[in-house]
Amino acid sequence: MNEIVANDRLGAFCRHTHAEMKGAPGGPLVGLTFGVKDIYDIAGHRNGFGSPDWLRTHDAATRTAPVVQSLLDAGADMVGKTHTDEITWSLNGENAHYGTPVNVNAPGRIPGGSSSGSAAAVAGGLCDFALGSDTGGSVRAPASFCGIFGIRPTHGRVSLAGACPLAPSFDTCGWFARSAELLERVGRVLLGGKKGEAPRRLLLAEDAFGLAGEAVAGALAPAVARVSALLGKPERVTVAADGLSQWHQVFRVLQAAEAWAQHGEWVRRVKPSLGPGIKQRAQWAADLDPALVDPARKRREEIAHHMDGLLAGGAVLALPTVPGIAPIRNALPAETEDFRARALAFLCPAGLARLPQVSLPLATLDGCPLGLSLVAARGADAMLLELATKLK
């Protein structure tokens, strides 16, 4: 075990599934270190997936996940595997079995999840960048909470072969960095190196800012002004005419149906010891009325079509990443679930419409980080990454 992991005082890295690999001697990422969320296959090692029961009931991988191999081939050194919430089904980062990684930029508060260890490791300077995954917000929320850069790419843009799934039609491979320049540099490797088209106009999600409240909107106003200085005066738009909370319900049904299709048989057979929140979500998924699924799928495609039209012509949509700063650690379950539901209303549009989204650490509130998000059309990942590097 290397010194980085051995001396990790943030609880970001896994000891029980430790793996490390040297990168190629040359390449665009040579000299950089990265962590890997404990859902990605590393040849000869088992995935923990945030669950001791998963670790116990699954064999070692026979090959390394392509996305990890791409980073190694580009010269970066993998220093360890990072903690995740159980089966990636949480936004908190509080794992009942392995603990909660430290959020160095908001002491006493959660790092966010499910990519908790990756976000904590990057924020704490333990590695240069880290891989996470984002289904409902598991890169974007921790990026906002920890005050770092994070991207959820266009769905399907980066390979998830060799990664533990949660809800495949929403799952994406995302990553974190402490600078926009490094976030974009990693993107050139994982997205194929093509330059993005120039953004042409800025949209302001009036309903999202209204839902977040005056304190959040006020804290983010200078960040919005920085984007406006590059793209021009924003056009105020309503993203969800029927309400972002209604969109969250569509996401909730589809995520639960897909998650149970993926893991229901394992849950029934193994009867894993699931922690608070995850246990209740699994039970809700098990009891989900199948008649709800097809209407939700239809509504999802309507939402995607609406978002396609909204973002046509090089538009960029600005909104709060989440509706507030990181919640306090060990909060009451009712408070945790309330914040999660409110956060998913902000996070679900990109997932439902399969869009790329970056969270930028451009604001603070009450001394804690607060992210501004930018969303663009499908395939416009490079445009977002390049735009982020210009927001000085």
35-64 confidence digits (pLDDT tens): 999 999 999 999 999 999 999 999 999 999
DSSP SS3 for 20: coil
* Cα–Cα distance for residue pair 373/313, rounded to 1 Å: 19
314 pLDDT more than 80: yes
> Average pLDDT in the 23-29 region?
97
Cβ distance 120 to 150 under 8 Å? no
d(CA 319, CA 175): 20
- 118 near 338, Cβ under 8 Å? no
Query: Does residue 174 register a pLDDT over 90?
Result: yes
Mean pLDDT for all residues in the chain: 97
* Number of neighbouring beta carbons within 10 Å of residue 335: 11
- Which has the closest alpha carbon to 190: 179, 175, 169? 175
Whether 271 is a known active-site residue: answer no
In this prediction, residue 193 carries a pLDDT of 78
Confirm whether 138 is a catalytic residue.
yes
> How far is the first Cα of the chain from the last one, in angstroms, to the nearest whole number?
38
Average pLDDT over residues 66-86: 98
The set of residues, in sequence order, having a beta carbon less than 8 Å from that of 176 and lying 6+ positions away, is 115, 118, 119, 122, 129, 130, 132, 139, 142, 143, 148, 149, 150, 183
Number of Cα atoms under 13 Å in the Cβ half of residue 249: 9
Q: How buried is 368 (Cβ within 10 angstroms: 0-12 exposed, 13-18 middle, 19+ buried)?
A: buried
Mean pLDDT on 230-239: 97
Q: What is the mean pLDDT of residues 144-160?
A: 98
pLDDT of residue 14: 98
Q: How many CB atoms lie within 10 A of CB 254?
A: 22
Catalytic pick from 51, 70, 90, 114? Answer: 114
Of 70, 133, 138, 144, catalytic? 138
The pLDDT value given to residue 391: 93
Number of helices and strands (H, E) in the chain? Answer: 13, 10
What DSSP assignment string belongs to 323-379? Answer: SSSPPBTT--HHHHHHHHHHHHHHHHHHHHHT--EEEEEEEEETTEEEEEEEE--TT
Please give the pLDDT value at position 195.
Answer: 83
d(CA 94, CA 338): 16
Catalytic residue selected from 37, 90, 116, 133: 37
| Distance, CA of 352 to CA of 322 (rounded, Å) | 16
**What is the Cα–Cα distance from 26 to 5, expressed in whole angstroms?**
24
Quick one: how far is CA 242 from the chain centroid? 25
| DSSP annotation of 290 | G
Residues 6+ apart with CB under 8 A from 344: 91, 136, 137, 248, 251, 252
Is residue 29 predicted with pLDDT exceeding 80? yes
C-alpha distance from residue 275 to each of 96, 99, 206, 271, 341 (Å): 5, 11, 36, 12, 18
Signed CA dihedral, 99, 33, 360, 115: sign only: negative
Q: Using CA atoms, how far apart are residues 358 and 381, in angstroms rounded to an integer? A: 9
Q: State yes or no: is 359 an active-site residue.
A: no
